[in-house]
């Protein structure tokens, strides 16, 4: 394991700035003395776009490529037309750096508020495909703006792309105590992609006899997520279904204030990127109201990805302890929560 | 209004048989003496498929076309490969009869169990597009079964198709006390279809100055459905997003045991079809355990569609009363619940 981390930091827009500061605070506090942490900040997001019209250039990609990992706050602002920063920055980066494993753990900690009655057990991880499906930007529009307009979106699914993410999910399921993997798709309607996903899933399953598998349609998955979330251990799914169910998963397991994610290139050809699931939340930006926990948990995913498992565990434990005690702590600012977490991981 | 109803009845598979019987029981009980009810049963579903290999022939469509409306129980059985009956019957019928308005109301009644804490107010209706999006069957597979397989699914969206369903949704919003309409899409990623939906929505909105409008992404919509479902009045959305969020909507507002739906051809060129949102539930079929409420509520949607508003209201009230008292009633079979509802609407 390298004893230095060369980190690209992208605070981004809105509360991104605030939560990333706390993520870095906790990262510095948790790292052993002998690990050299270097960070370089990048100004992507709405300001850069308004100033230069750029979202992410080839030169930017070259610069980012030299880092060990990327920590992102949030990108997006109402002043920028919908889609510009999403397609021009967030998705461009995921595709350019082949972030095909989009990892989103959900764990409901004791004492943490959930909209669900009866405080169910929730502890699963979604492995969302990150580089295919309807996210490829394939499709188009003809007769735009007329009453004869036709717009298409093409979901692209390859055996290559599906198999690698399915393998990643099986390996993760194998490494967890329950060893259970659920494929979520809509193979009764999207039969072309559905057959590919199902066949690849069943084929790889043969290599993991210890992993229990099942299949559920994405619509039914949303039902189980609110009526019986304990049934899930690891879920593997397509890019769009993963987008939808991970927001719901975050909502039921403590809210997007605590939902972390990793955009991972498992082979390490490109740096992986870690970010909270939440967005830039312009309505509360600059007020110290944002919960930095999701970013701090994303830092833990980042550390685990780089091989710093003990440090990642310490962050997870610190956030868990903080959340569990939160109801008795009263309102705290973004920075105070960061301070508390930094103190816990250092202690 | 015609004083006769010529109804096609498709019990289908599994619990479909049981719940449709109760739906018809309540229908007969609620109709005034002078309305002549004629029903003809059709044997679509797994048995017919196994016996003949047929799912829905041109002759079937001709026969169905002569009815005023269709009542469906559920179609689907594990003995039939996934997709065969869905694409070969359910979707084929929606497309053949141009059921472009897929109507799915959600109302949480007092006393009804919900997985959400705090018994929130839920009373909204989803207008799901029924004939476009990724449901068209466009797409394909090459190099099937090899490591080079590529499968595509094409979401097709037309100004014609989007505008008519958006208009239907605005008219419904206008007719409701809150007059609020939310567009649900993913226009920051699916930018081709997203722009079409957004532009058409904004254009039609100008004709409905009294209707308050907003937009949310489908992933965020799943969050609101569990944290703040009261924010919704009418939702309009695409075929796939509508499929997903209406299952979640059903789950939070009393479960799929009480979720009704209409596959509507508003112009009346073809008969509309009404069905519970739930499936054939083979695990509990034949045991008298299924809740017929969703089918009975679908009968109410059917009556309202045919202009029998007072009768529809009586059914809604009967189901509401039954559900509200249910916790004190103990377990009842499918038929006993049907009897109770029939008695209420007749009384
Ligand atoms: C902002 C958007 C492009 C993104 C996505 O759809 O993937 C977000 O919703 C997410 O889940 O990370
Ligand atoms: C069975 C399936 C084809 C159908 C759909 O996806 O529309 C069902 O899930 C529904 O919502 O009516």
Reference A243, options B180, B190, B138, B192; nearest CA is B190
Pairing of strands B123-129, B234-237: parallel
**What is the per-residue pLDDT for B347?**
72
The pLDDT of residue A326 is 86
The CA distances from residue A326 to A8, A117, B173, B224, in Å, are 31, 19, 41, 23
Higher pLDDT, A83 or A249: A249
- Asked if the Cβ–Cβ distance from B157 to A145 is below 8 Å, we say no
* Closest ligand 1 atom to Cα of A87: 3
- State the pLDDT at residue B329: 81
CA distance B121 to B232: 10
- Which of A169-178, A324-333, B123-132, B286-295 is the least confident region? A324-333
A247 is catalytic: yes
CATH 2.40.50.140 for domain B1-105+256-347: no
Positions of chain B with pLDDT lower than 50, given as ranges: 1
Which tokens sit at B321? 């009363």
Distance CA B131, CA A315 (A): 49
Over its C-alpha atoms, chain A yields an Rg (Å, rounded) of 20
pLDDT at A110 over 60: yes
Residues 6+ positions from A126 with CB-CB distance below 8 Å: A103, A104, A105, A106, A234, A235, A236, A237, A242, A245, A246, A249
Residue A1 has pLDDT above 70, yes or no: no
Q: Say how far apart CA A200 and CA A215 lie, in whole Å.
A: 13
Cβ–ligand 2 contact at B13 (below 6 Å): no
A331 Cβ contact list (under 8 Å, min separation 6): none
The dihedral sign for the CA sequence B184, B189, B193, B198 = positive
What residues contact B204, with CB distance under 8 A and at least 6 apart? Answer: B163, B166, B167, B170
Q: Find chain A residues with C-beta within 8 A of B156's C-beta.
A: 150, 152
Q: Does A189 touch chain B (CB under 8 A)?
A: yes
For residue A246, give both structure tokens: 């991970």
What percent of chain B shows pLDDT beyond 90? Answer: 94
Mutate to test the pocket of ligand 2, among A185, A186, A189, A222 (most ligand atoms within 8 A of CB): A189
Q: Are B74 and B281 in contact (CB under 8 A)?
A: yes
C-alpha of residue A243 to centroid of ligand 1, in Å:
6
What is the predicted pLDDT for the residue at B326?
86
Q: Which of the two residues, B329 and A175, has the higher pLDDT score?
A: A175
Catalytic pick from A98, A186, A238, A316?
A186
Class of CATH domain A114-253: alpha beta
Q: What is the predicted pLDDT for the residue at B2? A: 52
String of DSSP letters for A100-121? -EEEEEEEPPTT---SBTT---
Q: In this predicted model, what pLDDT tens digit does every residue of A256-266 receive, in sequence order?
A: 999 999 999 99
The per-residue pLDDT of chain A, averaged, comes to: 96
Those residues whose C-beta lies under 8 Å from the C-beta of residue B310, and which sit 6 or more positions away, are none
> What's chain B's length in residues?
347
Residue B156: predicted pLDDT: 98
Name which of A86, A116, A191, A283 to mutate to probe chain B: the one with the most chain B Cβ atoms within 10 A of its Cβ.
A191
For residue range B307-328, what is the model confidence (pLDDT) as tens digits? 999 999 999 999 999 998 887 8
**Cβ A188 under 6 angstroms from ligand 2:** yes
Smallest CA–CA distance, residue B159 to chain A, in Å, is 5
Per-residue DSSP letters for A235-246?
Answer: EEE-HHHHHHHH
CA of B243 to the centre of ligand 2 (A): 6
Q: Which of A84, A93, A141, A149 is the best residue to mutate to test the B interface, defined by the most B CB atoms within 10 Å of its own CB?
A: A149
Domains A1-98+266-347 and A114-253 share a fold: yes
Q: How many CB atoms lie within 10 A of CB B305?
A: 20
Nearest to A240 by CA among B88, B243, B159, B87: B243
Q: Cβ distance B150 to A154 under 8 Å?
A: no
Q: Spell out the domain ranges in chain A.
A: 1-98+266-347, 114-253
Enumerate the residues of chain A whose CB falls inside 8 A of the CB of residue B86: 188-189
Structural tokens at position A11: 């605070």
Q: B265: which residues sit within 8 A by CB, 6+ positions away?
A: B97, B98, B99, B100, B101, B271, B272
Domain A1-98+266-347: give its CATH architecture: 3-Layer(aba) Sandwich (3.40)
Per-residue pLDDT of A281-322, as tens digits, reads: 999 999 999 999 999 999 999 999 999 999 999 999 999 999
Closest Cα partner for B15 from B75, B95, B60, B67?
A: B75
Which residues 41-100 of chain A have a CB within 8 Å of chain B?
82-83, 86-87, 91
Mutation probe of ligand 1 site: the residue of A56, A90, A242 with most atoms within 8 A of C-beta: A90
Confidence at residue A192, expressed as pLDDT on a 0 to 100 scale: 98
């Amino acid at each position: 394991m390298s004893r230095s981390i060369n980190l690209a930091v992208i605070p981004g827009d809105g509360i991104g700035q605030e939560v990333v500061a706390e993520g870095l605070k906790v990262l510095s506090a948790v790292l052993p003395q002998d690990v050299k942490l270097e960070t370089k900040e990048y100004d992507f997001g709405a300001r850069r776009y308004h100033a230069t019209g750029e979202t992410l250039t080839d030169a930017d990609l070259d610069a980012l490529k030299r880092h060990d990992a990327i920590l992102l706050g949030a990108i997006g602002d109402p002043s920028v037309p919908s889609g510009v920063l999403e397609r021009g920055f967030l998705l461009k980066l995921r595709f350019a750096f082949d972030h095909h494993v989009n990892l989103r753990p959900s764990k409901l900690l004791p004492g943490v508020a959930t909209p669900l009655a009866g405080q169910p057990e929730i502890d699963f991880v979604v492995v969302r495909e990150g580089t295919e499906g309807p996210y490829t930007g394939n499709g188009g529009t003809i007769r735009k703006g007329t009453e004869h307009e036709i717009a298409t979106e093409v979901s692209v699914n390859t055996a290559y792309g599906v198999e690698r993410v399915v393998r990643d999910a099986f390996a993760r399921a194998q490494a967890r105590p329950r060893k259970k993997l659920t494929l979520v798709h809509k193979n009764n309607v999207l039969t072309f992609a559905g057959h590919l996903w199902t066949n690849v899933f069943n084929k790889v399953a043969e290599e993991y006899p210890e992993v229990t598998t099942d299949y559920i349609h994405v619509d039914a998955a949303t039902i189980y997520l609110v009526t019986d979330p304990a049934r899930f251990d690891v879920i593997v799914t397509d890019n769009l279904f993963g987008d939808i169910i991970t927001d719901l998963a975050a909502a039921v397991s403590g809210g997007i204030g605590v939902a972390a994610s990793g955009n991972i290139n498992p082979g390490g050809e490109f740096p992986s990127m870690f970010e909270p699931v939440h967005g830039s939340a312009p309505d509360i930006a600059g007020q110290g109201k944002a919960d930095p926990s999701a970013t701090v948990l994303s830092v833990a995913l980042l550390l685990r990805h780089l091989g710093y498992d003990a440090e990642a565990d310490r962050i997870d434990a610190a956030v868990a302890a903080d959340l569990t005690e939160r109801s008795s702590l009263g309102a705290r600012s973004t920075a105070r929560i960061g301070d508390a977490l930094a103190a816990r991981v250092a202690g």
